[in-house]
Structure 1
Amino acid sequence: MKRLYKITLLFGITILVSSCHNNAAPNYQYFPNMYESVGYETYAESNAFKDGKEGQLPAEGTVNRGFEPFEYENSTAGYELAKANLKSPLDSLSRDPEKGKELFEIYCATCHGNTGNGKGKLVEREKFLGVPSYKDRVITEGSIFHVVTYGLNSMGSHANQLSAQERWVVADYVLKLKSEL
């Protein structure tokens, strides 16, 4: 008899629990947009921003996080000024030839070659032509830093891949390669 009561009680609880759930009308959701987000058409106009603009501009005078302003402009005149005036802020302890070699081999050697002779893999395969040897160029640490920051001719900027300190380390290593050619 006890067993029949237990089975009946268990059956009753099961029916009670399952009868409260209705798939057609789910329970109240907190923050329903998180569960069922509104779909927007790609590149369509939206009223999410002021004045119907495509996006919002940063506040006047702000600087991106991690961005270090560079006082020389991206022009031939800026290059010449950097070449003449810009000096490395690295002291003797911050100069790391091993790190410079590692970064050079990652970012520069594919075009400039491991020794800076202008015969990297991409030049050998004729993907880029006219990559100069460091031996033939009049370069300073300031001009190297400027070129790595902004790029020059067919070489693109590496400012997004390398921090300012890493660019100075690479410039130091390039001068070391130039002295060895």
Structure 2
Amino acid sequence: MNKKYIFGLAFLAISITAILSSCHDKRSRGLEFSPNMYYPLAYNPDQKNKNFADGITAQVPPVGTTPVGYTRFDDFPNTPEGYAASDAMVNPLTVNKQNLAEGQQLYIAMCGPCHGKLGMGNGHIVEIGKYPAPPSYSTGVSSRGGAMKDLSDGKINHTIQYGLNLMGSYASQLSPEERWQVVMYVRELQKAQ
């Protein structure tokens, strides 16, 4: 037999099969690759869910639970009493080059625009006149009373956690470990001045 004849018959058979299989059901998309991408196994948050009594998929977490990767800070609430009690908090991180380097990087990115590179209260935002200068870490006086250099690590951490006056909370931007690294770097700035 001729090779052209064999290839011609094979091509014709494949073509007829493809045409007939594509015309059989107009709503069918044919074979699907990874059907779980189109039809997810998990429930969507706004979808009804028969697994819960109220039928709602997006459930509120149980009272008193802590999400994974989150550290509770409820022992020291955002009140004057909580601020005073935070004085007992001690920085759990050891002072080493890595923690100081990470604290410096976080400080420059998060705190530097207002507090300045050296903590003197002369950051970029203050220089352009948008906001008043925050107190200097070495010579300034805290709006809660007392010299900034005399604040404990816990009080600095509490202020980063909840914010104070024009300074907003950094709880969502900095993890608890990162806040302690910033506190550690602030201490180094105070020693240098």
Give the TM-score taking structure 2 as reference length: 0.72
Where structure 2 has 5 or more consecutive residues not aligned to the other structure, the ranges are 41-45, 142-146
Where structure 1 has 5 or more consecutive residues not aligned to the other structure, the ranges are 38-45
**Cα shift at 1:101:** 1.8
**Matching of residue 154 in structure 1 with residue 166 in structure 2:** yes
Q: Which has the higher contact order (CA 8 A, sep 6+)?
A: 1
**Cα shift at 1:175:** 2.2
Equivalence for 1:17: 18
**Cα shift at 1:5:** 4.5
**Matching of residue 179 in structure 1 with residue 191 in structure 2:** yes
Q: Say if 1:102 and 1:17 are closer, same or farther in 2 by CA, change over 3 A.
A: closer
**Matching of residue 128 in structure 1 with residue 131 in structure 2:** yes
Aligned residues: 172
Give the TM-score taking structure 1 as reference length: 0.76
How far apart are the structure 2 equivalents of 1:148 and 1:81?
A: 15
Range with bigger deviation, 142-151 or 160-169: 160-169
Residue pair 1:113, 1:121 contacting (<8 A) in 2 also: yes
How far apart are the structure 1 equivalents of 2:57 and 2:4?
A: 69
Q: Say if 1:32 and 1:10 are closer, same or farther in 2 by CA, change over 3 A.
A: closer
- 1:81-160 equivalence runs, <5 A: 81-83=85-87, 85-93=88-96, 96-134=99-137, 135-137=139-141, 138=147, 139-160=151-172
How far apart are the structure 2 equivalents of 1:47 and 1:168?
A: 41
Q: Say if 1:133 and 1:47 are closer, same or farther in 2 by CA, change over 3 A.
A: same
Equivalence for 2:67: 64
2:83 equivalent among 51, 56, 79: 79
Q: Say if 1:164 and 1:9 are closer, same or farther in 2 by CA, change over 3 A.
A: closer
Computed over aligned residues only, the root mean square deviation of the Cα atoms, in angstroms, reads: 3.2
